[in-house]
Structure 1
Amino acid sequence: MFKRILITACYTGAIAALLLTLVQSLWISPLILKAELLENAEATHEHVQTQQAHSHAAAEHIHDSKAWSPEDGWQRTLFTFGGNLVVAIGFALILCALYNLRAPTKVWHGVLWGAAGYVTFCLAPAAGLPPEMPGSVAADLSSRQEWWGATAFVTAAGLALLAFGNHWLWRSVALLAILAPHVVGAPQPLEHHSVVPAELLAQFQLASLSLNAVFWMVLGGLSCRMFRKENAGAAPLDGINSLA
């Protein structure tokens, strides 16, 4: 069973990651490059002001070597694909594990699982922490990670109760769980500041959310199709497929 799950996740994740990287390079990357140009221009302006306010000797302590980052072009695309591949295989493993608990009978069932994954890991967290661009001030990283993780967890639990709960009480608890992180509110910076124009930021957020939706639909549909193909001749496991 584990071998079938791993094979399905690897093939599905590779295809979904390739598609994601291709669309990112055509749609998302140009927007990020524009934001980086604005961020670098702002940093240069602040550096010039610092040099004017301090003597040359004091300014020497400000010059720090820049951290390494992949260059624009094939190097950046390759590293992006590597990151997308790891994430896609990880999410595909989660989907395939869930298929063993409730085996899908149609490909569109996998698309529904993908939609649930999109809501859990993208849409719900983005309601409080929308996609960010370079040049924007954000809240403390650890606070954002904790809120993101809690939101994803309660959203997944809430969707499970809504889908499989057979009593109105469980569904009421599910709705309260899904709304709870947004009532508490996501961590916000003390001062909002961004060098990125609002129009560019809106384009980036729309592109990110739209691309992630496509990614999850493809991941769900492909993983379901390959899972059913890999398990076509396999003997059902006692107590697992019977849940379906």
Structure 2
Amino acid sequence: MLVRFLLAAIFAGMAAGIFATAVQSWRVVPLILEAERYEDAGDTGAGHTHSQGEASGEEASTGETAMAEAEEPWAPEDGTERTFYTALANVVVGVAYSLLLTAAVLALNQSITPASGLLWGAAGFVIFVLAPNFGLPPELPGMPAGDLTDRQIWWLVTVICTAGGLYLLAFRRALPLMLLALVLIVAPHLWGAPQPIEHESAVPANLAAEFVVSTIVASALFWLFLGGLLGYLFQRAAKQESASA
């Protein structure tokens, strides 16, 4: 039975990753490409000013350009290559989240159907996306951000506290525990997420806002798709196990 569930979780995660790629390609990726144009324009302007101030002569300018190109990190080309690597990353993330969801369902000894799977997916969305995004909204290329390590720590603490709070609210109905659940959910936001030192950016504010909304909507669709599909596959696996028994 466990093997059936694990295979179902892997398949659901892969399917959810492909689904997420399709949704992101429709709205999220075009916003990222547009923001990258603003980022490249800003870098070009800064590089032009720098070269005028410090370099005099064609050879120095060419040398600086070659050095900058040598230090440029690898990135997939726009188009098919970029879509492929995006899909690959989404599939890996989808399988990981699917296995986490499966572990939670099995650890709590819960039966799951397509309907209840949607609720599990919604819980995953709240834990891994909605709660962290209150303090750390999605960022476009070229936007300022706080220290990476500090942001990762805050994100992890927020995920753990939110998961613990939702668990107490869903499975422990005692009033003191429900109050503790609210404290856990609110505590990371009272602590506050790490913020950048400066907030100036070449990316227009309306573009950043549209990206936040589009990313959150795409993430919600991903989690609901994953939860519903996982519930369907688990229900089917349970029926097959009963029939074979």
210-219 or 224-233, which deviates more? 224-233
Task: Give how far 1:12 is off.
Answer: 0.6
**Superposition TM-score, scaled by structure 1 size:** 0.92
Give aligned-pair identity as a percent.
42
Task: Give how far 1:58 is off.
Answer: 6.5
1:185-196 paired onto structure 2 within 5 Å: 185-196=192-203
Q: Distance in 1 between matches of 2:60 and 2:182?
A: 57
Q: Could you tell me which residue of structure 2 aligns to residue 21 of structure 1?
A: 21
Matched, 1:47 2:47: yes
Matched, 1:89 2:95: yes
Task: Give how far 1:217 is off.
Answer: 0.6
51-60 or 62-71, which deviates more? 51-60
What amino acid is aligned across from residue 13 of structure 1 in structure 2? G
1:46-65 paired onto structure 2 within 5 Å: 46-56=46-56, 60=63, 63-64=67-68, 65=70
1:175-231 superposed Cα distances (whole Å, 9 cap, x missing partner): 000000000100011111211101111110000001101110110010011011112
What amino acid is aligned across from residue 146 of structure 1 in structure 2? I
Task: Give how far 1:61 is off.
Answer: 5.1
Q: Could you tell me which residue of structure 2 aligns to residue 74 of structure 1?
A: 80
Contact kept? 1:9, 1:92, Cα under 8 Å: yes
52-61 or 13-22, which deviates more? 52-61
Q: Distance in 2 between matches of 1:142 and 1:114?
A: 28
Matched, 1:213 2:226: no
1:1-244 paired onto structure 2 within 5 Å: 1-56=1-56, 60=63, 63-64=67-68, 65=70, 66-100=72-106, 101-234=108-241
**Superposition TM-score, scaled by structure 2 size:** 0.92
Partner of 1:232, secondary structure, is helix
Contact kept? 1:17, 1:84, Cα under 8 Å: yes
What amino acid is aligned across from residue 112 of structure 1 in structure 2? L
Q: Distance in 1 between matches of 2:2 and 2:98?
A: 13
Structure 1 residues 140 and 223: alpha-carbon distance in aligned structure 2, compared to 1, 3 A threshold: same
What amino acid is aligned across from residue 92 of structure 2 in structure 1? V
Q: How many residues align?
A: 235
Q: Could you tell me which residue of structure 2 aligns to residue 238 of structure 1?
A: none
Q: Distance in 1 between matches of 2:55 and 2:42?
A: 21
1:81-125 superposed Cα distances (whole Å, 9 cap, x missing partner): 000000101111111222223323532111001000000000000
8-17 or 131-140, which deviates more? 8-17
Task: Give how far 1:234 is off.
Answer: 3.1
Task: Give how far 1:23 is off.
Answer: 1.3
Q: Distance in 2 between matches of 1:55 and 1:90?
A: 50
Q: Which runs of 5+ in 2 are unaligned?
A: none
Contact kept? 1:5, 1:93, Cα under 8 Å: no
Q: Distance in 1 between matches of 2:64 and 2:224?
A: 51
What amino acid is aligned across from residue 158 of structure 2 in structure 1? T
Contact kept? 1:104, 1:110, Cα under 8 Å: no
